[in-house]
A and B are shown apart, each in its own frame.
Chain A
Amino acid sequence: DIQMTQSPSSLSASIGDRVTITCRASQSITSYLNWYQQKPGKAPKLLIYAASSLQGGVPSRFSGSGSGTDFTLTISSLQPEDFATYYCQQSYSTPNTFGQGTKLEIK
């Protein structure tokens, strides 16, 4: 199975900050990497697919980059509604494993 490792596991930031979350795969997954946002008690929401494609309706302050084994999710200017947990997921091969999550909290 492909292991997905996110860093950091938690992060404190302020409104307006630029934030970057990293996801590393245990082997190359080319660009088959998705990012989701999850708020407490809610289902995950797709933000980015195929490493860098923004899902429709998602604000442009979210962006993704990377290929191979190293990927990043960047939020260019944090808004109050962005405080949540973020997960990466590889769809290169089954099982389509998720990272352990990064909890983004208000500083």
Chain B
Amino acid sequence: QVQLVQSGAEVKKPGASVNVSCKASGYTFTGYYMHWVRQAPGQGLEWMGWINPNSGVTNYAQKFQGWVTMTRDTSISTAYMEVSRLRSDDTAVYYCARAFRIAAAVYHDYWGQGTLVTVSS
């Protein structure tokens, strides 16, 4: 069965970086784009971007360009998202989500369990 298992919670100081991993199993990792979505405490969902695990090509929301980096390691079916120069308002649960495509329609059929990143001095 398809599973996305994310790394554990992190506590970071402002200005630091954090790297969240998302290990995929139960399907061909390179066959589906991986998206990242975050959710600040008590807030809604915010789309961050995607990575094509096959090519490594990425697409970031403009807000995140320059300080979020998405990568992957196909040998271990794992996607990564690094957020640099952390600020307190980056405190959020970060989700990876597989993107399934039918024709031009794209949707997230499987999600990781989420990784809480807390930024605090």
Contact = CB atoms under 8 A, between A and B. Distances in A.
Given A44-B111, A101-B44, A96 B35 contact: yes
A49 B102 CA distance: 10
* A44, A97, A99 pick with most chain B CB within 10 angstroms: A44
Interface string A49-91: 1100001000000000000000000000000000000010101
Contacts of B108: 34, 36, 44, 46, 89
Chain B at the A interface: SS class: strand
A32 B46 CA distance: 17
Contact of B104 (A32, A34, A94, A100): A32
A91 B107 contact: yes
Contacts of A91: 105-107
Chain B, interface residues (CB within 8 Å), range: 20 to 34
A94 B109 contact: no
Interface in B85-110: 95, 97, 102, 104-109
Interface residues of A, number: 24
Interface of B: 35, 37, 44-47, 49-50, 59, 61-63, 95, 97, 102, 104-109, 111-114
* A-B pairs with lowest CB-CB distance, top 10: A43-B111, A49-B107, A95-B61, A50-B105, A91-B106, A98-B45, A34-B107, A101-B44, A96-B47, A100-B44
Interface of A: 1, 31-32, 34, 36, 38, 43-46, 49-50, 55, 87, 89, 91, 94-101
16 contacts: A32-B104, A38-B45, A43-B112, A44-B111, A49-B105, A50-B102, A55-B109, A87-B44, A89-B47, A91-B107, A95-B47, A95-B62, A95-B63, A98-B37, A98-B44, A100-B44
Given A44-B108, A99-B44, 19 more contacts: A43-B112, A43-B114, A44-B111, A46-B108, A46-B109, A49-B105, A49-B107, A87-B45, A89-B45, A89-B108, A91-B106, A94-B47, A94-B49, A94-B59, A94-B61, A95-B47, A96-B47, A98-B45, A101-B45
